[in-house]
Amino acid sequence: MHSNMEWQAMDMRQIGIITKRSDPRALEATRQLAEWLVERGRAVTVVSEIATAASIPLRCAARQSQERLPEGQDLVVVVGGDGTFIAAARAVEEVDVPLLGVNMGRLGFLTDTARDGMFDAMEQVLAGEYRIEERMRLSVEVVRQGKLPLACRVLNDVVVHKGELARMMEFDVSMDDQFVFSSRADGLIVSTPTGSTAYALSAGGPIIHPALNAILLVPICPHTLTNRPIVVPGTGTARITLAANGLDRLLTLDGQAGFPLSDGDEIRVRRSTHPLRVLHAPDRNHYTILREKLRWGE
């Protein structure tokens, strides 16, 4: 992980903004942030459609597609919710650019800077006063008859689940060359520590600190109630092999993209060599976010 000293020596001159398009408040916040940054001598780039929808003056921001926006940026600010943040994480997959999340509604686990604290947080960032952390991504491959019809990365989770039919699906799970279990269930969640507060949490999984090198396996509504969530080392490769029973099954990636599965498919999931870097204000930490989001102590 990069130290704060390294980052304080880096002057953040180029700042991109990725925004939740359907939220008028996010559009207004983006316009205000772009103008605020330009007043402080920063070069701003905004997604083209957002610049139009938010009526951002040309003098305040360059225009770019969301896929190309991270190129050449020192920082990308995400204005929206956790879903927008995950989409932004996908946009920076091939570019080593850190993200800062500004939440427009309920506190997010990823977008942990409140809207009314946006300018204070940006003042700290421009002054070099922030923490940076690396979040594990997972590398996902589908192996089908010796070929790879899918290879991608996820930040939160990859979910193997049944399709339209009510019947449970069957699958085997192994770690490297070690068999773990067979299961009949509605599916299986393979999650990063970041994703442990997402779908995996609602399915009964534990909360894992994002600094841990671990992968979480959570069966969804297993037929055998003794099939429990299990945390395995992040150094291994999880292999999920589907039974040949002709069921309709699907792979869902970070809850935002789907891929149809076939009999005998093997899904391989391992820690990616490309982590995501996330910036936080000095007063924000994982336990603060958990207390506020989950309302501990109320």
Q: What is the mean pLDDT of residues 272-284?
A: 89
pTM of the model: 0.91
**Is pLDDT above 60 for 111?**
yes
DSSP code of residue 135: E
27: phi then psi, degrees, rounded to nearest 5: -65, -45
Task: State how far the alpha carbon of 16 is from the alpha carbons of 60, 126, 177, in Å.
Answer: 12, 14, 43
Q: What pLDDT is attached to residue 107? A: 66
Given a cut of 50, whether residue 93 has pLDDT beyond it is yes
CA dist 61 and 69 (Å) reads 12
- Give the DSSP H/E element, type plus range, for residue 27: helix 24-39
Determine the straight-line distance between the first and last CA of the chain, rounded to whole angstroms: 35
Q: What is the mean pLDDT of the chain?
A: 91
pLDDT above 70 coverage of the chain, percent? 95
Q: What is the DSSP string of 204-215?
A: TPPP--TTS-EE
Is the confidence at residue 165, as pLDDT, over 80? no
Could you count the other beta carbons within 10 Å of the beta carbon of residue 31?
22
Q: Tell me how far the alpha carbon of residue 213 is from its chain's centroid.
A: 16
Please write the tens of the pLDDT for every residue from 180-219: 999 999 999 999 999 999 999 999 999 999 999 999 999 9
Closest to 189 in 3D by CA, of 228, 167, 219, 165: 219
Q: Is the pLDDT of residue 69 over 50?
A: yes
Of the candidates 181, 158, 196, the residue with the CA atom closest to the CA atom of residue 272: 158
Token reading at 295: 């309302």
**Residue 23, number of CB atoms within 10 A of its CB:** 17
What is the dotted CATH code of the domain comprising 4-135+275-294?
3.40.50.10330
What SS3 class is residue 112? coil
Place of tokens 């509605």: 186
Give the tokens for residue 24: 């008028």
The C-alpha atoms of residue 216 and residue 241 are separated, in whole angstroms, by 17
pLDDT at 9: 40
In the chain, residues under CATH classification 3.40.50.10330 are: 4-135+275-294
Determine the angle formed by the axes of helices 118-126 and 24-39, rounding to 10 degrees.
30
- Residue ranges, comma separated, of all CATH 2.60.200.30 domains in the chain are 138-271
d(CA 249, CA 261): 5
Is 82 annotated in the active site? yes
- Strand pairing class (249-253; 157-162): antiparallel
Percentage above 90 pLDDT, the chain: 77
Please tell me which residue in 82, 112, 157, 254 is annotated as part of the active site.
82
The half-sphere exposure of 255 on its side-chain side, counting CA atoms within 13 A, is 13
Taking only the tens place, the pLDDT of each residue in 222-275 is 988 888 999 999 999 999 999 988 788 999 999 999 999 999 999 999 999 999
Q: State yes or no: pLDDT of 155 exceeds 70.
A: yes
Task: Please name the amino acid found at residue 23.
Answer: D
Distance of CA 167 to the CA centre of its chain: 30
- CA 118 from centre of chain: 21
3.40.140.10, 1.10.3720.10, 2.60.200.30, 3.40.50.300: CATH of 138-271? 2.60.200.30
**pLDDT, position 70:** 95
